[in-house]
Structure 1
Amino acid sequence: MSDHPLDEALRLAPLDVGRFSGRTTPEYWNMGGPFGGVTAALVLKAVLDHPERRGRPVAQTVNFCAAVGEGPFEIAARLVRDGRSTQHWQVEMTQEGRGTVTTGSVVTGAERQTWAHAAAAPPQLPPPDAVPQMDTAGRNAWLSQYEFRVLEGRTDFQLEPPGEIASAASRLWVRDRPERPLDYAALAALADTFIVRILLVRGYFVPVATVSLSTYFLADEAALARQGARPLLGLADARAFRHGFADQSAELWADNGTLLAVSHQVTWYRD
């Protein structure tokens, strides 16, 4: 069993068919609970560990109903529809005294060789070694579990209100720290490593949280194996901030130009 911090955070013990127990870890702690990417990865892993699961992950939506508290939790994964091409799963994370803290849905699908076309072009970035690492010392613990090499996008959020409005866009290299070969659970977590866009735009901290995160997995197992532990190219942006909610979209690319995953989320903020 790997002793990588991510694998420790994703450790699930079976309680019954489709029911698992786990425990939060301090390495991936955020402001008021665990880093949402690890919660998303746990939702996916409960499906991946289910004995009835067929195929690879295709799509996942995670709804963050409440902050996950420190300590134990349970996850239940239920197969709600089993088709020839896809399986549809419902997942729920609960904690004693808190009730339901996270819900999710996962679609898995059989691998098939079909017509393919790459309509999108990969981002153009200098090689990772040419981009300095972002300093994560003194920040929320989960940031130190990733290596960020940011080419575009604000990384300092120390301005005083009202701040200076900046772009919501980011271009960067990102990977697990320590290095870890890429798999679907890690990819699900990486899809949420893009800092909430309002912090980039305004340049100072406000209360923020992800409400719902959807990730679409475009990579097969072979593409993940080819990427290994090398950094991924990441793009993120937002379109509107309004009425206390904002959108956020991201792309994760292999360093050979293969699009591995895209994600879309809605975030909440308080002004």
Structure 2
Amino acid sequence: MTATVSHPFDQAVHLTPEPDGTFGGQTSQDYANMVGPFGGVTAATLLRAVSRHPQRLGEPLSLTVNYASPIGDGPFVITADPAQTNRSTQHWIVTMTQDGVVKTTATAVFGTRRDTFAATEIAPPRAPEARTIAPQETPEFIPWMRNYEMRFTAGSFDVAPSGPANDSTTTLWVRDAPPRSLDHFSLTAISDVFVPRIMLRLGRVVPAGTVSLSIYFHADAATVVEQGDEPVLATARSQHFGAGFADQAAQLWTGAGTLLATSHQLVYFKA
């Protein structure tokens, strides 16, 4: 299936180049979160700004997004500046502002991939085939979740209090809804589809939000394109909770067992 601008995701990450070299965008109600927009779409939009820049070289290798302050509904401006270009890597500084106030900052690394030694030292989680699992209903009050088909194999979350869990691991098959061919932008957003791990661990909704998100892209564009609109196998867990902050480590795999991306994030919580 070929992605077009008519898909809600493409509308959400759409940017308009401005004469001063910045990019203008608009938040999407389809991807609204409990406070501000879904952080995964914000990250994808920042990556798109670099990808559309006339000085961009190569493919995305990594992206780190720092959510500095809540993003309001409405227009925003993204500035993407190449800080350094080397023979194989290009480093970017990216900033999103609204009414002159910094809302999000990011750094991105793009580069040229080469044929070298390759090995994956982790294995995908064991999971039944996606088609054997029914999609989970998503909460009405979290609009962005309606844009994903989620088939959980472990660690599903219900907004109704369910009691504490022994660990914070979630594994699921996930793809855009309606289906959309995967690219590095949608892969970026999918890296953030997990509810905060503190909610799974405690079994209830608590105030929480991502402070910083880093994504490492292990698959080149050709490998990502081969995925088409098939579900991605995604898994995440926290390694530590304490003093109001927790981390989250995640992996995203193809059904054939190819590692697409890994991510790590820092989340604040009140509980």
Shorter-normalised TM range: over 0.9
Corresponding residue number in structure 2 for 1:155: 157
Which amino acid in 2 is paired with 1:123?
Answer: P
Are 1:43 and 2:33 counterparts? Answer: no
In 1: Cα distance, 2:19 partner to 2:196 partner? 36
- Aligned residues of 1:166 and 1:200 also touching (Cα < 8 A): no
Corresponding residue number in structure 2 for 1:119: 121
What TM-score results when the alignment is normalised by the length of structure 2? 0.96
- Aligned residues of 2:152 and 2:172 also touching (Cα < 8 A): yes
SS of aligned partner of 2:18: strand
2:111 to 83, 95, 109: 109
Which sits farther off after the overlay, 150-159 or 225-234?
Answer: 150-159
In 2: Cα distance, 1:260 partner to 1:164 partner? 31
In 2: Cα distance, 1:170 partner to 1:55 partner? 33
- Aligned residues of 1:154 and 1:203 also touching (Cα < 8 A): no
Query: 1:75 Cα shift?
Result: 0.2
1:142-178 C-alpha deviation (Å, 9 max, x unpaired): 0000010001003113218xx4344200111001111
1:201-222 C-alpha deviation (Å, 9 max, x unpaired): 1111111110000000000111
Corresponding residue number in structure 2 for 1:56: 59
SS of aligned partner of 2:144: helix
Which amino acid in 1 is paired with 2:160?
Answer: Q
1:79 to 73, 82, 85: 82
In 2: Cα distance, 1:232 partner to 1:90 partner? 29
In 2: Cα distance, 1:14 partner to 1:179 partner? 28
- Aligned residues of 1:166 and 1:202 also touching (Cα < 8 A): no
In 1: Cα distance, 2:6 partner to 2:82 partner? 30
Are 1:210 and 2:213 counterparts? Answer: no
In 1: Cα distance, 2:234 partner to 2:45 partner? 22
What TM-score results when the alignment is normalised by the length of structure 1? 0.96
1:74-116 C-alpha deviation (Å, 9 max, x unpaired): 000000001001000000000016x000000000010211111
SS of aligned partner of 2:261: strand
2:93 to 81, 90, 94: 90
SS of aligned partner of 2:97: strand
In 1: Cα distance, 2:140 partner to 2:15 partner? 29
In 1: Cα distance, 2:184 partner to 2:42 partner? 13
- Aligned residues of 2:47 and 2:185 also touching (Cα < 8 A): yes
1:209-245 C-alpha deviation (Å, 9 max, x unpaired): 1000000000011111110000000110001110000
Could you say if the C-alpha distance between residues 252 and 155 of structure 1 is closer, same or farther in structure 2, counting changes exceeding 3 Å? same
In 2: Cα distance, 1:229 partner to 1:92 partner? 30
Query: 1:137 Cα shift?
Result: 4.4
In 1: Cα distance, 2:141 partner to 2:233 partner? 23
Are 1:254 and 2:257 counterparts? Answer: no
Q: For 1:164-243, what aligned pairs fall within 5 Å after superposition?
A: 164-243=164-243
Which sits farther off after the overlay, 11-20 or 259-268?
Answer: 11-20
In 2: Cα distance, 1:122 partner to 1:205 partner? 28
Unaligned ranges ≥5, structure 1: none
Query: 1:129 Cα shift?
Result: 1.1
State the identity %.
45
User: Which consecutive aligned stretches of 4+ in structure 1 deviate over 3 angstroms post-superposition?
Assistant: none
In 2: Cα distance, 1:55 partner to 1:16 partner? 24
Which amino acid in 2 is paired with 1:117?
Answer: A
Query: 1:18 Cα shift?
Result: 4.1
SS of aligned partner of 2:138: coil
In 2: Cα distance, 1:197 partner to 1:154 partner? 11
Unaligned ranges ≥5, structure 2: none
